[in-house]
Amino acid sequence: MNILITGAASGIGRGLALKLARPGVSLQLCDHAADGLAETARQCDERGARSVPKVLDTRDRQGMADWIATASGERLDMAFLCAGITGGLPPEANDGLVLEREERVWEMLDTNLTGTLNTFFPVVQAMRRQKRNGENLRGRICVMASIAGFVCYPGTPSYSASKVALDRFVVANAARLERFGISLTSVCCGFVDTPMVTQNRFPMPGLISTEDAVGRILRGTLRQTRRVIFPGWLVMGSRLMDLLPPRLAERYYVTQPSAQPAGMPDF
């Protein structure tokens, strides 16, 4: 089995790699963080897998296309698109008006949206050339979106925008690609205990372990679930908030710690 994972240097990407690592499995691992990626590969190899790490930024469109063309080999069974960044309001205010830094907004969209699409399209092309397996599938693709995509939260404008775009893109294309034997899964999860969220300076309701999240993601992907969402109560609450008139929802949002300056990390 040949599996591709981006964002494999830490967090959910590393968790998936370690969970899937076993004899007979080839792991095509990608991340821009060389040290973390090397450590993930080392741990996967100890579990008997064959790890092939690639230090690469997913924003490099041609680089990703070239890498995936090689990494897919004769067959690519699954791809987990986990690379991404988080962030929100900057720690300073300007005359009482707070906006994300413009360069940070572009970086967020380039990494979370464009970088993921730079991975998605070459993976689809590779899988479409493959024969169907015993499950009548050519391959599975799992994309990390977020519960943040369900709400217009003032603390994370560009992050929420990037994640809602990913979720809608994946779900909207799922039925069409399924006819070609490619299963798409969008993961909309809440707070997962990874290095990416440890810098958050506000309460994180429903925080779950990486191991728990990885188990849910794998089960959903293997079952060909269109959208994997957890925790359910937080998703329902987020969706209900998004049904409210914006001004009414804002009255609640502005009282929350993460809606205040310095509530979110600005990397």
pTM of the model: 0.85
Convert 218-256 to b/e letters by CB count within 10 Å (16 or more is b): bebbeeebebbbbbeebbebbeebeeeeeeebeeebeee
Residue 233, pLDDT score: 63
Structure tokens at 80: 């987990």
Separation between Cα atoms, residue 57 and residue 41, nearest integer Å: 17
Residue 148, pLDDT score: 78
Note the pLDDT tens digit of each residue in 197-227.
656 555 555 567 889 899 999 999 999 999 9
Q: What are the phi and psi torsion angles at 172 (to 5°)?
A: -65, -30
Return the number of other C-beta atoms located less than 10 Å from residue 151's C-beta.
19
Structure tokens at 32: 């821009």
Note the pLDDT tens digit of each residue in 175-189.
999 999 999 999 998
Separation between Cα atoms, residue 210 and residue 14, nearest integer Å: 9
Distance of CA 123 to the CA centre of its chain: 15
Separation between Cα atoms, residue 163 and residue 149, nearest integer Å: 5
Most confident range (mean pLDDT) of 96-110, 192-206, 253-267 is 96-110
Separation between Cα atoms, residue 136 and residue 56, nearest integer Å: 32
Is the pLDDT higher at 253 or at 259?
253
β-bridge mates for residue 203, sequence order: none
Q: What percentage of the chain has pLDDT greater than the value 70? A: 76
Give 230's pLDDT tier (boundaries 50, 70, 90). Answer: confident
Q: Are strands 26-31 and 50-55 parallel, antiparallel or unpaired?
A: parallel
Give 101's pLDDT tier (boundaries 50, 70, 90). Answer: confident
Structure tokens at 117: 């699409």
Q: CATH assignment of 2-259?
A: 3.40.50.720
Note the pLDDT tens digit of each residue in 16-73.
999 999 999 999 999 999 999 999 999 999 999 999 999 999 999 999 999 999 999 9
Quick one: which H or E segment has residue 238? helix 232-243
| Contact (CB, 8 A) for 196 and 86 | yes
Residue 192, pLDDT score: 66
Residue 197, pLDDT score: 60
Give 259's pLDDT tier (boundaries 50, 70, 90). Answer: very low
Give, in degrees to the nearest 5, the angle at Cα 153 between 149 and 158.
65
β-bridge mates for residue 192, sequence order: 208
Residue 194, pLDDT score: 64
Q: Residue 153: which residues within 8 A CB-CB, separation 6 or more?
A: 160, 253, 258, 259
Which residue stretches of 8-148 are H helix?
Answer: 11-20, 34-46, 61-71, 102-109, 115-128
